[in-house]
Amino acid sequence: MIASSAGAATWYVSTVDNGIFTGDSWSSSFRSIQDAVDAAHDGDSIWIRSGVYQIELPIRVDKAVVVIGGFSGIEGHPNERASDTYSTVDAGGEGTGIKITANARIERLIIQNANTEVLDLTWEPHMAKYLPGAGIYAENCSLTIHDRIIQDCIGDEDGGGSIRAKNCDLDMNSCRILRCRGGGMWGRALGGPYLESCTGDVENVLVDDCIGGPRVEEGSVVFNRCTFSNTSGSRTSEPVVYFAGEHRISDSKFVRNTSVGTVCQFIGLIIERSLFDGNGGSGWGVMAESSSFTNCVFTASSLNIDSSRLVNCTLGAHSFTGTGNSTIANCIIWSADSQTGPGVQIDLGTIIAHSLIYGGFEGEGNLDADPLFVDPASSNYRLQLESPCIDAGTEDIDDLPKTDIDGVRRVIGSAPDMGAYEHFGFPLGSLCPLILSGI
């Protein structure tokens, strides 16, 4: 990722009219972000004073520069900025916000009101080179995006309303994507980021209240501590959340997403310590193929796995289907509604061991009994002291997690517990002999 080098220049941008626009100080700052990019060379920095910058054409970042917003106009170093201050790029409801084709770092910017759906390329053919991707379009570069807000943007039919990145090495951290959507009546409605053949890390990213969530195809990206919430897919039957490739997701949340079809679909992923809650619609809440889930919780959703693996997961789901030689170990499949239970359909090719399954399933160490969750009505799927799932799992699996979903050491008693949560206390009958003897 790019960093400012010794001897590199700093260029200044401000909404204040000082009458001098050389861009080499706050008192002679540029009025346009594009003017600063045009003046800069590889390795330079661009400092942007807080304010709203209206654009008619996308900002084209074709140099290896650092673009930083949130200044008040007096700072001599980025660390002197006040917290929670941003500079805003407003596309005015038409066109892309920023197009990036060189290694760049972008931070403390708000991008809003970009819209590539409204463009009539018959009359504006020059705009075609900025599509797809409404808020940010990046390709063939290393891209660092920190502390960024992308909001109220609309993409074209096959682009993303917020971010479209192709063949990029990503470093995204502390970004919020709000109220974005994909365009077109029958498009894929990708309000969240659309990443294709990308690598890198995405951390602390919130995608909320969008029409269409993320679509991540090919590549190898690590997602950590991300939240995808309140997205809908009412305009298309495509999955609202779609990941396919050698990606890894950890410590993340997928909550309250809805669709007329499948809500979340994962193909070839590794997912650990993540929560899936309230994802529903006409199709499956979560559908997975050739994927692995460890220490995950599925609540108020339905789950369909094909040729996949579940280890130490808790399913308080409406329904569950396992097909294609899937394997399940140390798991709990039970409904929060103890009266009806989940609808469970499991192919004979599925191997299940040391798991509690509603209705039972043949296999070593399997149980069919109330797991005694603490308070499933309040989404607390931890285990009560008397739960039959405590110490009922097995360590005899290759990928037994070292901790549970909360980071608690996985094996506290004589064996790992079933489900995503390891119980802190000791079940009756396995108390320390020293305590029982009064020593």
Cα gap 215→365, rounded to integer Å: 39
Spans of all domains in the chain: 49-71+81-289, 313-439
Residue with tokens 């045009």: 38
Residue 308, SS3 per DSSP = coil
Cα gap 314→422, rounded to integer Å: 11
Residue 321, SS3 per DSSP = strand
pLDDT in tens, 175-210: 999 988 765 444 455 678 889 999 999 999 999 998
Q: Are 104 and 137 in contact (CB under 8 A)?
A: no
Measured between alpha carbons, how far is residue 223 from residues 201, 299, 309, 349 in Å? 6, 21, 19, 31
Residues in the chain: 439
**pLDDT for residue 286:** 93
Of residues 270, 319, 278, the one with CA closest to residue 295: 270
| pLDDT range class, residue 121, cuts 50, 70, 90 | very low
Cα gap 149→241, rounded to integer Å: 20
Residue 127, SS3 per DSSP = helix
- Other CB atoms within 10 A of residue 124 CB: 11
pLDDT in tens, 104-120: 999 999 999 988 776 55
Cα gap 94→154, rounded to integer Å: 9
- What are the tokens at 91? 């596309």
Torsion-angle region of 380 (φ positive above 0: left; ψ -120 to 50: alpha; else: beta): beta
pLDDT, mean of residues 91-115: 92
Cα gap 248→357, rounded to integer Å: 27
**pLDDT for residue 261:** 82
Q: Is residue 216 over pLDDT 60?
A: yes
DSSP 25: S
Cα gap 22→347, rounded to integer Å: 71
CA angle 221, 225, 226 (to 5 degrees): 70
* Residue 235 neighbours by CB under 8 Å, 6+ apart: 185, 187, 189, 211, 212
CA angle 331, 337, 343 (to 5 degrees): 60
**pLDDT for residue 427:** 45
**pLDDT for residue 129:** 43
| pLDDT range class, residue 234, cuts 50, 70, 90 | low
Mean pLDDT value across the chain: 86
Q: Is residue 304 over pLDDT 50?
A: yes
Percent of residues, the chain, with pLDDT higher than 90: 63
Torsion of Cα atoms, 224 then 230 then 233 then 238, to 10°: 20
Cα gap 251→274, rounded to integer Å: 5
| pLDDT range class, residue 429, cuts 50, 70, 90 | very low
Higher pLDDT, 425 or 63: 63
* Residue 207 neighbours by CB under 8 Å, 6+ apart: 162, 177, 191, 192, 193, 213, 214, 226, 227, 228, 229, 231
**pLDDT for residue 186:** 42
Q: Are 86 and 108 in contact (CB under 8 A)?
A: yes
pLDDT, mean of residues 23-34: 95
pLDDT, mean of residues 67-90: 94
Cα gap 107→265, rounded to integer Å: 31
Q: Are 136 and 100 in contact (CB under 8 A)?
A: yes
- What are the tokens at 382? 């931890």
Higher pLDDT, 336 or 293: 293
- Which of 220-224, 285-289, 313-317, 417-421 is predicted least confidently? 313-317
Q: Which CATH code, of 2.160.20, 1.20.120, 2.60.40, 3.30.43, is assigned to 49-71+81-289? A: 2.160.20
pLDDT in tens, 125-164: 444 444 456 889 999 999 999 998 988 887 765 566 788 8
**pLDDT for residue 217:** 93
Q: Are 145 and 106 in contact (CB under 8 A)?
A: yes
